[in-house]
Chain A
Amino acid sequence: MSEARLFLLQRLTALVMAPLVLVHLVLIVVAVQGGLTAGEILGRTQGSVFWGLFYGIFVLVAAIHAPIGLRNVLREWTGIGRRPIDWLMVAFGVLLLVLGWRAVVAVVGGGA
């Protein structure tokens, strides 16, 4: 993928993430009022299409956004070649996606 496309993708995903991050942070602050239990969290999230979509999209854009930035950091700060970095970053993105979506399924899924 071209540098211009990655540049655009990084900015578009940032645009999507900005409100998601805000909601996520506010949610944390609200949720921890009066203590936090696994049961309470699952009670809110299980079966919720809204939170499933919310965090599903969050994970997707983060999995696109983070490797693009990390790619630049690795290019500048390590001696790893450009090709290997690109493949590493594809793998990193997939890893984020799999771990993230697995977590989303775990908290939103029916609790079976």
Chain B
Amino acid sequence: MKVLVTVKEVASAGDDFTIEGTGIAESDLEYDLNEWDDYAVEAAVQLAEAGVADEVVGVTIGPERAEETIRMALAKGVDRAIRVWDDAFATGFPDVASKVDVFEAVVAEEEPDLVLSGVQAADDGFGATGVALAERIGFEHAAVVNHLDLDADAGLANVHRELEGGVEELTEVDLPAVLTVQTGLNEPRYASLRGIRQAQRKEIAATTLDDLGLTAEDVESALTLTSMYEPESESDAELIEGDAGEAATRLATILREKGVGA
């Protein structure tokens, strides 16, 4: 079977950051592979190692800069990758449907039996792309999967969906399916030196909307980011000043007043 993994390079804000317009200043952003996608990649690579998947293809919507991150997924065992980009994604705030437009076209070309996505992207925390994609392409789906047992012959995925409050739902999902992967599903590997070397020779196919038979209008977003600001603090935390020793002394006093360690 063929597995398609959606991966995203996500930005995080450094300790000190400034907001410029409706975004964080480029120099204050750090980029990395989305944590949830790292678990999706690991799940896909394990399926390949177990002989269940014949090929693992990664797909990302991202600028050229993202290739470095995507290459990490290749170094971990993804066979090849597709990187789709259009300036429309850089200037606007893509909505779920426009991302799904892209992934739908890629699915039509690749014809995977299983799509693995992360539960959410750490930067915008939308948590919707995988499930919306499943609906669009007529796949079954399960969201927030933290246990996966695939029975390819029976065409089934036995999954646990992690609900709130320490309860897991045990669900049998028909293939083909989209599963959104929760952290803890497995132990993502570190890329080996050999993997990193091999990744240099693996393909990352730079793909335009045109290549996919789409136009900029197709992926026009119904959402606009109109402002970004630092949230107002809800509490008046007393910030304890001084070096580590002084701060510890003050904190010890507070703790003793609360009856701790007394």
Chain A partners chain B? no
- A interface residues (Cβ-Cβ under 8 A, vs B): none
- B interface residues (Cβ-Cβ under 8 A, vs A): none
